[in-house]
Amino acid sequence: RKEVEQDPGPFNVPEGATVAFNCTYSNSASQSFFWYRQDCRKEPKLLMSVYSSGNEDGRFTAQLNRASQYISLLIRDSKLSDSATYLCVVIPISSGSARQLTFGSGTQLTVLP
């Protein structure tokens, strides 16, 4: 079983739609959680952190369910510019002082006009 699993998609949604992605992780001791965004032929960039209490950044909402070991990302009122691959990222218990990220394989989103 992969450490971090995501539905690869693709998700094709019309502009203005609400779309949600889920991600499951296998290590129950995982410490920190993030969503990264990767545009086509570009590098991954941090979209948002995921906190236990849930957090919102504009049209984006991230939630964490430790009991079920999944995190989610909700995008409301989707824009054409939201088209990208969304990567779920988990940090296990640190074995060193650097923060080693484990990436999911990504979920591809295309927002259609």
Partner 1 sequence: DAGVIQSPRHEVTEMGQEVTLRCKPISGHNSLFWYRQTMMRGLELLIYFNNNVPIDDSGMPEDRFSAKMPNASFSTLKIQPSEPRDSAVYFCASSALGETQYFGPGTRLLVL
**Which one, of 83, 84, 86, lies nearest residue 73 by Cα?**
86
Q: By CB under 8 A, is residue 66 in contact with partner 1?
A: no
Answer for which of 104, 107, 109, 111 binds partner 1 (CB under 8 A) is: 104
Q: By CB under 8 A, is residue 88 in contact with partner 1?
A: no
Alpha carbon of residue 108 to chain centroid:
11
Of 75 and 89, which CB lies nearer to partner 1 in the complex structure? 89
Q: Which stretch binds partner 1 (CB under 8 A): 16-24, 58-66, 72-80, 91-99?
A: 91-99
Of 87 and 111, which CB lies nearer to partner 1 in the complex structure? 87
Of 70 and 103, which CB lies nearer to partner 1 in the complex structure? 103
Which pair of tokens denotes residue 50? 């995921």
Cα–Cα distance, 53 to 15 (Å, whole number): 29
DSSP 81: G
Q: By CB under 8 A, is residue 46 in contact with partner 1?
A: yes
Touching partner 1, residues 24-43 (CB under 8 A): 42-43
Residues that bind partner 1 (CB under 8 A): 42-46, 87, 95-106
